[in-house]
């Protein structure tokens, strides 16, 4: 029987600094099995060139923040079925992709030119991509699917050449928290507002995948407040030099609430983009 996931299945987690980071082992992260099960749905959703949001905001925004030179060697971390790899390769960049899901990497290989190398690995595994060095790394819409931040950012530091950039794009953790944030409408003020029921607690949230009633699978979103990202980046030796907040460009059909809805979409950004620079090693 189909399983309905109720909001009370969300699990509070201790903040990262109070949680012993476990040694990551490939295959022990539930993420690979979850995303293998979700792979066919996700591949169809994204297609060859990306969803509307990827095409209009995320892919061009990530490339602009990376600002790569043509000679740069780039890594798409948690590449999924390879949409950003193809976007970069199509513009003449050298890029490799890494993802924990072998099913998504198989789709990536099928959809992409053979010149792009794809790797199946846990982004938190200290053995992953041993000996490789990159001039830029991007992680798009995936950090909130990763159970541990610090070992992932430590790997990013290890893979990045000094002074090079890491671009991290996620759904905005202040306003867009699955099951814990909602739209509401204030009739007196004729204003659409955003209600946020939880922000500061690190929380594990199962999401039906595909996101519709009757779906059997789920993937896990790990909600974290901003300080968790900044603290883990700093601890890994990555310094944030740019933060952008990207609003949805969609507009409502004409109607009584259209103006309020359009205003609210602009006021509560959908995506957060962070760029961090690899600091030199401490002497």
Ligand X SMILES: C[S@@+](CC[C@H](N)C(=O)[O-])C[C@H]1O[C@@H](n2cnc3c(N)ncnc32)[C@H](O)[C@@H]1O
Report the interface residues with ligand X, using CB under 6 A: 29, 31, 35, 46, 78-80, 83, 99-101, 104, 122-124, 140-142, 145-146
User: Minimum Å distance from CB 267 to ligand X?
Assistant: 25
Let me know: does 53 contact 270? Beta carbons within 8 Å. Answer: yes
Q: Residue 142 or 264: which CB sits closer to ligand X?
A: 142
Q: Residue 25 or 200: which CB sits closer to ligand X?
A: 25
User: Minimum Å distance from CB 47 to ligand X?
Assistant: 10
Q: Residue 139 or 264: which CB sits closer to ligand X?
A: 139
Instruction: Tell me how far the alpha carbon of residue 89 is from its chain's centroid.
Output: 20
User: Minimum Å distance from CB 232 to ligand X?
Assistant: 14
CA proximity to 235, closest of 157, 144, 118:
157
User: Minimum Å distance from CB 120 to ligand X?
Assistant: 9
Length of the chain equals 283
User: Minimum Å distance from CB 262 to ligand X?
Assistant: 26
User: Minimum Å distance from CB 190 to ligand X?
Assistant: 35
Round to whole Å and give the CA distance between 271 and 174. 10
For residue 110, the SS3 value is helix
User: Minimum Å distance from CB 242 to ligand X?
Assistant: 19
Token digits of residue 121: 């690995």
| Beta carbons within 8 Å of 209's beta carbon, 6+ residues apart | 34, 37, 38, 41, 42, 215, 217, 218, 219
Q: Residue 124 or 274: which CB sits closer to ligand X?
A: 124
Token digits of residue 97: 């992709």
Torsion of CA 192, 197, 200, 204, to 10 degrees: -120
Let me know: does 81 contact 107? Beta carbons within 8 Å. Answer: yes
Q: Residue 120 or 264: which CB sits closer to ligand X?
A: 120
The residue with its CB nearest to ligand X is 80
For residue 88, the SS3 value is helix
* Crossing angle for the helix pair 150-159 and 226-236, to the nearest 10 degrees: 40
Q: Residue 113 or 162: which CB sits closer to ligand X?
A: 113
Q: Residue 138 or 264: which CB sits closer to ligand X?
A: 138
């Amino acid at each position: 029987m189909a399983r309905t996931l109720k909001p009370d299945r969300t699990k509070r987690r201790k903040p990262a600094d109070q949680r012993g980071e476990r040694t990551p082992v490939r295959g022990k992260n539930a993420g690979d099995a979850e995303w293998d099960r979700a792979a066919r749905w996700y591949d169809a959703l994204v297609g060859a060139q990306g969803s509307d949001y990827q095409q209009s905001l995320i892919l061009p925004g990530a490339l602009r923040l990376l600002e790569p030179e043509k000679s740069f060697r780039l890594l798409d971390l948690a590449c999924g079925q390879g949409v950003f790899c193809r976007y970069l390769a199509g513009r003449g960049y050298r890029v490799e992709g890494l993802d924990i899901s072998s099913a998504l990497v198989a789709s990536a290989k099928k959809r992409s030119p053979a010149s792009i190398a794809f790797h199946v690995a846990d982004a938190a595994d200290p053995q992953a991509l041993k000996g490789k060095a990159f001039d830029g790394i991007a992680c798009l819409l995936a950090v909130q699917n990763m159970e541990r931040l610090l070992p992932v950012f430590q790997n990013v530091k290890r893979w990045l050449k000094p002074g090079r950039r890491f671009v991290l794009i996620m759904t905005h953790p202040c306003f867009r928290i699955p099951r814990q944030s909602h739209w509401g409408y204030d009739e007196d003020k004729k204003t659409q507002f955003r209600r946020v029921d939880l922000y500061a607690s690190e929380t594990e949230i199962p999401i039906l995948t595909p996101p519709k009633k009757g779906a059997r699978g789920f993937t896990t979103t790990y909600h974290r407040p901003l300080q968790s990202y900044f603290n883990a980046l700093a601890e890994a030796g990555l310094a944030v030099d740019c933060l952008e907040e990207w609003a949805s460009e969609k507009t409502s059909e004409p109607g009584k609430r259209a103006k309020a809805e359009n205003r609210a979409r602009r006021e509560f950004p959908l995506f957060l983009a962070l760029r961090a620079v690899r600091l030199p090693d401490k002497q």
